Structure 1
Amino acid sequence: MGQGAIFATAAAALVAQAATGFEQCPQFFAKSQPPAVQQRPLQRALCYEAFAILHSGETKTPVFVAQRLNRESIDDAGEKRSNKFFADARLPQSERAALDDYKHSGYSRGHMAPAADMPSPAAMAQSFSLANMVPQAMKHNSGAWAKIEQATRKYAHRAKGDVFVITGPVFTPESESIGHNHVKVPTYLYKLVYDVETNRAWAHWQANLDETRASQPISYDELVKRTGVKFLPGVVPKS
């Protein structure tokens, strides 16, 4: 099957899937429990083959994106990039970003669930949904953030069991927006890593700036403190 046919099939499957909540994809969450986030208007749960998204129609970005990685999934990764970005038709047009929003914005379309993590052609195609994107500083996306994504894959590959990863944006009053649809630009990005076997969790916290460099992770408790989100309900990770 060619890349175009794979993309069309994946997109059609997304349209057909009536995902009203994460009950359709609990496998992406530790103990099958999604993060306990503050309920806001226009939040919608979206299930994909290899990740799950809580999407905000206010910011036109994810609230968070959840994945489950392990040695097997990483061994299956490495699919050819589709590079065909698309607006997820499951989201009302008024709640989603469009391709034109990113044009000439000065920001890249930054994957929250990385394309390089995807274990199948369909999952790869789905990862290019704009619901999985945030406006990201270009040099940060290809630099420090790419290193963090690569390090997370390497860790998951050597882990003894499942590793749950939750990635998302953090907005502040200073956050600007881009495009006709006013897609919000994150001030910070985070990536939480939780190893089920060791019961340890840590997070990468990065300013969404070109000059940002890779830095030491912060603790799970510190991430909860900074965001106000209990990302691992039902789990008490070791400090």
Structure 2
Amino acid sequence: YVYLYYHSTLCVFILPQYPLICVFILPQYPLICVFILPQYPLICVFILPQYPLCVFILPQYPLICVFILPQYPTRSCLQSFQFITVLSLVGWRPEEGDVLPVSKACLRSHVVEKFSDVPQCKKFFLEGTTPNLPGILVDGTVQNQNRYKPICQKYKNVYRFATLYDTTNRIPVFSAYTFTGNTTGRPKDPWMIEPGLDAEMQESVEGKSLQAVNNDYKNSIKKKDVNRGHLFPCSHAHNLDTQKSTFTLTNIVPQDVNFNNGSWREMEENVRGTLVENCKDANDQIKAYVVTGAVPNNNKVKLNNRVNIPGLMWTAYCCENKKYQKNKKWMAGAHWGKNKKGEGALGQQTLGKLEEMLNGKHKDGPVKVFPTNCPR
């Protein structure tokens, strides 16, 4: 919980587990965003010319706002603190004297320039190597940084998986995760969004211009016969908190209901069984690297006139396999299918066949989902 005390001249945010973190003045100026950055220094400083506000930026993250109090123009309210927290309360208008508990404020996903900027995020890729998708992501560098956003998906202070998000189509390009076994059940938490795309996940609200929101799905799901399709499936998560972390709309695409509940779900279950049975590391622990992606549709039919309904979905995995002979230590597999009603069973294909198929979608060079260790 984060408690906010509001007065006509200032706002104060307090986290119970930390000392006083920041003081906001001039509440009529809603420069409010959320992040805790305990391990990185402040890089750049800008002064807003209209009034004495100081804004700090970290290149790996969205804007981190730090204020200088006008009555003390030489002192930053954060000079003596190592933690920076600024809470986003979009659309909330306080009354004087309010004390507000804000739940679900401990979700700290964030947009970065490169996945490699965050070691705990880099670990979701085999050998730390991201997929090579010409025109989108090449040698770990996003080709159009205004459109494609790498997100390190963090929940309850633990990095859970990584997503590359397309803000034009408002769907993920892919989500990457490590499979280490699965748990049972399915959480019923609300769907969440990534505020960093528009200015820590938080509950889905209206008005997010660069991403899908819950209302996009609520208002159009029956009309288009689609539902929310996970890229990192809840059924592949190894514990309840990781399951909950998959319920962010940056991990979701509009998926044909029959495809999602039929051949795609069957494939997810089959892959899960394959990984549990065959993928063991040197310590005999279950471990596999998985990347699941979506290819946008070129037609003009969109969910709620905003969200692209992908034409194709794909997934690939690679892992060590102790059962293999020494010259075949690694194993890999892939599946893909058209996002439409009536799509048949998605049989296992080779990684090479998947990359060959994706080459037809990316004309500027070869697609490479995993490093060369993985058999094609």
Q: Is the shorter-chain TM-score for this pair beyond 0.5, marking a shared fold?
A: yes
Structure 2 CA distance, aligned partners of 1:196 and 1:111? 25
Equivalent residue number for residue 116 of structure 1: 235
Equivalent residue number for residue 166 of structure 1: 291
Larger radius of gyration: 2
Instruction: Give how far 1:42 is off.
Output: 1.4
Q: Give the alignment partner of residue 160 of structure 2, picking from 35, 42, 50.
A: 50
- 1:34-49 alignment to 2 at 5 Å? 34-37=130-133, 38=135, 39-40=143-144, 41-48=146-153, 49=159
**Could you say what the CA RMSD is over the residues aligned between the two structures, in angstroms?**
2.1
Instruction: Give how far 1:185 is off.
Output: 0.6
Cα deviation code 1:161-212 (max 9, x no counterpart): 32111101112423631114x1111111101111233422221011111211
Gaps (5+ residues) in structure 2? 1-102, 136-142, 154-158, 199-207, 282-286, 322-328, 360-366
Q: TM-score, normalised by structure 2?
A: 0.56
- Residue identity in the other structure for 1:153: R
Equivalent residue number for residue 106 of structure 2: 12
Instruction: Give how far 1:79 is off.
Output: 4.9
- Residue identity in the other structure for 1:22: F
Contact 1:79 1:118 survives alignment (8 Å): no
Deviates more, 1:168-177 or 1:101-110: 168-177
Equivalent residue number for residue 222 of structure 1: 353
Cα deviation code 1:10-36 (max 9, x no counterpart): x53225x46443122111111111111
Contact 1:84 1:125 survives alignment (8 Å): no
* Equivalent position SS for 2:253: strand
Q: Give the alignment partner of residue 88 of structure 1, picking from 194, 203, 206.
A: 194
* Equivalent position SS for 2:108: helix
- Over 3 Å counting, the alpha-carbon distance change for 1:141 and 1:18 in structure 2 is closer
- Over 3 Å counting, the alpha-carbon distance change for 1:58 and 1:236 in structure 2 is same
More helix per residue: 1
Structure 1 CA distance, aligned partners of 2:298 and 2:111? 34
Contact 1:78 1:118 survives alignment (8 Å): no
Q: Give the alignment partner of residue 212 of structure 1, picking from 302, 322, 343.
A: 343
Identity, % of aligned positions: 23
Contact 1:68 1:163 survives alignment (8 Å): yes
| Correspondence 1:190 to 2:314 | yes
Structure 2 CA distance, aligned partners of 1:175 and 1:54? 22
Structure 2 CA distance, aligned partners of 1:101 and 1:177? 10
- Over 3 Å counting, the alpha-carbon distance change for 1:236 and 1:174 in structure 2 is farther
Structure 2 CA distance, aligned partners of 1:21 and 1:121? 28
Equivalent residue number for residue 369 of structure 2: 231
Gaps (5+ residues) in structure 1? 1-7
Contact 2:179 2:238 survives alignment (8 Å): no
Contact 2:267 2:346 survives alignment (8 Å): no
Q: Give the alignment partner of residue 268 of structure 2, picking from 121, 128, 149.
A: 149
* Equivalent position SS for 2:123: helix
- Residue identity in the other structure for 2:147: L
Q: TM-score, normalised by structure 1?
A: 0.85
Equivalent residue number for residue 43 of structure 2: none
Instruction: Give how far 1:213 is off.
Output: 2.0
Contact 1:176 1:185 survives alignment (8 Å): yes
Equivalent residue number for residue 29 of structure 1: 125
- Over 3 Å counting, the alpha-carbon distance change for 1:217 and 1:102 in structure 2 is same
